[in-house]
Amino acid sequence: MDELRVDMRQWTKAERDMYDTQTQMMFKLNHTMPRTDAYNALLRELLGDRIGEGSMIAPPIAGAAIDQLVIGKNVYINSGSLLMARGGISIEDDVLIAANVQIISNNHDPYDRAVLTCRPVLIKKGAWIGAGASIMPGVTVGRYAIVGAASVVTHDVPNYAVAVGSPAKVIKYLEEERFPA
């Protein structure tokens, strides 16, 4: 997987303005009654056509580069999510994300901290991310996989696997035939 490097000193005015707009929209979203027409309109304004039908993000939400976030259908993201999407975050259909989960697709170069090192995160169909878990740059969480609460995922989690701990390790596999094809 290729790493994208972004020098924040090189941001254009348009990029800064977009970031400011996204930050202000998240603030407004976080201060609007959830599950109302006003809330849903703000969520659609923030994500456009990058959020599937039936998906919901419970406030508060925090993050950056939300224009690089894509959410499938019937996804539920509970409150307190941190979505650092500079490297891209893709969440497929039917994913459950518990409270206070961090999905981080970027980091800082250790020698030049104004440079972001970015790698995409993919959470595949039907995955379940437990409360307080952290998904780090470049990770794929497989179909119907489970990430345990408070786990720190630094490597890919295979389809149907259950991974727990810091760093997360696979402890077992779920029965594939018990899930929809």
| Residue 32 DSSP code | S
Question: Using CA atoms, how far apart are residues 20 and 82, in angstroms rounded to an integer?
Answer: 17
**Cα angle value 31/79/106 (rounded, 5°):** 100
Per the annotation, the verdict on 108 as an active-site residue is yes
Q: Which amino acid is it at 53?
A: E
Catalytic, out of 108, 113, 155, 172: 108
Half-sphere exposure of 155 (CA within 13 A, CB side): 11
Secondary structure of residue 152 in the 3-state scheme: strand
Question: Using CA atoms, how far apart are residues 82 and 69, in angstroms rounded to an integer?
Answer: 12
Separation in Å, CA 48 to CA 2, 35, 77, 120, 137: 27, 17, 17, 20, 24
Question: Using CA atoms, how far apart are residues 121 and 101, in angstroms rounded to an integer?
Answer: 14
The residues carrying an active-site annotation are: 108
